[in-house]
A = this chain, B = another copy of it.
Amino acid sequence: MTSSNVENTRPPNKHLVVFQPSGRREYFSSSQTLLDAAKELGVPIESVCGGERWCAKCKVIIERGMENLSPLTLEEKQLLRDEELNSNYRLACCSEIRGDVVALVPEVSKAAVQVVRKPVREIPVKLDPAVKKYYVELKPPSLQDPLGDLDRLLEALRDSYGLDGLNIDYSVLRELPSTLREGNWKVTVTVWDSREIIRVEPGLVKEAYGLAVDIGTTTVVGYLLELSTGKLVSVYSMMNPQVPFGEDVMSRISYTIANPDGLEKLHSKILTGINLILLNTARDAGITYDDIYEIVLVGNTCMHHLFLKLDPQFLGRSPFPPTVHRAVNLKPRELGLNMWKAGNVHFLPVEAGFVGADNVGVLITVEPWKKSEVQLIIDIGTNGELVLGNNTRLLSASCATGPAFEGAHMKYGMRAAPGAIERVKIDPDSMEVEYETIEGEKARGICGSGIIEAMAEMFKAGVILKNGNINKDLRSPRLRQGEDGYEFILVPKEETAIGADIVVTQKDVRAIQLAKGAMYTGAKILMKHFGVRELDEVVLAGAFGSYIDREASMAIGLFPDCDLAKVKAVGNAAGDGARLALLSREKREEAYEVAKKVKYVELTVDPSFQSEFMKSMFFPHKEDPFPHLNHLWDNMPKQQGKV
């Protein structure tokens, strides 16, 4: 340690921690992590998950004293890359202080994170954003024409653009006299929804920005768009900062009920997250907060309530009524969002207690009401939502799938990050496993799309039976008894980056059975209500939906049989819907109409729910035929039998 002064005052049983490059230092006791230490010292280290070992943002490089930290955790082995592990990287949240340490905070971990640019498809839409700019030149007042400032401006907007009956935001009114004179009576007026003047700027200003946000239970994605052109300017995605308070919707609702400040806390977490998205996308686009005029959000009903600080407790109890269905418009200042103060916050409407604005986003993207073909739209997230219908009517349902498809609760499940297994093939004869990982790195775990394929391949190879049991009779070195029952070795230790075999356990299979069974049951009950026996089309939505193998997902029975050519993935359609609504008032109108139109079906009260669910837990189903998968069954090992 460099400072002998500090050394001399060492308290008993404390360890000196120094953060570089700032040089901030203090003594800490053994129960504390490096993240705790950084927080106490005010060293800015990013931590989206709040120390819950999820987000991998709090990377530090240990310059001295690696031996004085707790051993590397499984999470670190999964979340850190090889070259990072080899360069003495640790996650601050995972590293307990057991002796003196010098840690360097790399640029990437400091306060504001880089913006992740993703290739996002452009969506064709007729541009008609709610926020528009209008340039006007006014005649200055005179004794012959002493009309007041606002009234003068309104006359000009009416004469030049046919805008009539506009209101003005109070904060804008307050600045109007000085702005008009500063601009020498030539100004640009920003108008929201042909209703309200939300800004007046001196001179000519063309660009206006808006942010579309998809608040997922696990992931939050923001898309910054320039509104006059519709151009996508920046994308930023992050872990939902509420994750540490509960992984799924029900556990977050429970948190708000169990803790008096629970709603306040969860609300402020998501607010902080969205302010981070505003900050980062604005920075990336080289603009300021004040250039962002509107934010359009989608999310499930619980995310909706928590964002709007509406008590979600009744959402969690039968009959699950939301506080509000219709779209909500608010001023950013009412929530504390860092964007143009007089702008607008628009949350898309909610269909039902468990079919939220995210599903409305999916619907205005997929537009099932325009077709005569019967579509099943599956939005796979932490909560699964289904819509079935066509141009005659639309039914919706919600399935409590849990986060299994996102890799949670799987022994080696992980996020779709580098090193995650995403493709799996198993040779039914040799039991040899071929796999691919994201970015080709050494395997660290299995992400959602990998799990689906692993399940389908294990089923096809006879590793798991129709009822989900791992086939104990199978003789293979890949099969063994583990602590969670039988398990199948997908990747042996020698090939992984985590120093352990990556396996699929019996418990993992059960979790997938429950999740996919819930989805299938929902589809069946909706088909019964709609009165169809076959699906014309299946649409897989959700970021996850873009990556999973359509055949594999049908083979495990995620949804009923359908012509595979008619199964398509549309990616994050909820987020696309938010972008559409940001760019088009017509789309907002459609959202309003479709949210009213969709009829919600409460699955659990259907008398056939229990028996359907039991049958749907089988791979792919206990009795339903899958004619479009006949080519698979023909090649299956005998012990599985024909389906």
Contact = CB atoms under 8 A, between A and B. Distances in A.
In the A-B complex, list the 10 residue pairs whose CB atoms are closest, starting with the nearest.
A150-B324, A148-B322, A146-B319, A141-B321, A148-B325, A143-B319, A151-B325, A141-B319, A149-B323, A146-B321
Interface stretch (A307-315, A361-369, A389-397): A307-315
A142 B320 CA distance: 8
Interface of A: 141-143, 145-152, 170, 173-174, 176-178, 181, 308-311, 313-314, 318-326, 328, 330, 334, 350, 352-353, 600, 602, 605
**Interface hub of A145, A147, A313, A323 (most chain B Cβ within 10 A):** A323
B605 A143 contact: yes
A354 to B, nearest CB: 10
A146 B320 contact: yes
B330 A170 contact: yes
A590 to B, nearest CB: 18
Contacts of A149: 314, 321-324
Contacts of A314: 149, 177, 181
A429 to B, nearest CB: 51
Given A145-B319, A151-B325, 10 more contacts: A141-B321, A143-B319, A146-B602, A147-B325, A148-B350, A150-B324, A173-B323, A174-B308, A177-B314, A177-B323
A334 B170 contact: yes
Nearest to A321: B141
26 contacts: A141-B319, A141-B321, A143-B319, A143-B602, A146-B321, A146-B353, A146-B600, A146-B602, A147-B321, A147-B325, A148-B323, A148-B324, A148-B350, A149-B314, A149-B323, A149-B324, A150-B323, A151-B324, A152-B321, A170-B334, A173-B308, A173-B310, A173-B323, A173-B328, A174-B310, A181-B314
A318 B143 contact: yes
Contacts of A145: 319
Contacts of A600: 146
A158 to B, nearest CB: 13
Nearest to A171: B334
A313 B177 CA distance: 9
Contacts of A151: 324-326
Contacts of A328: 170, 173
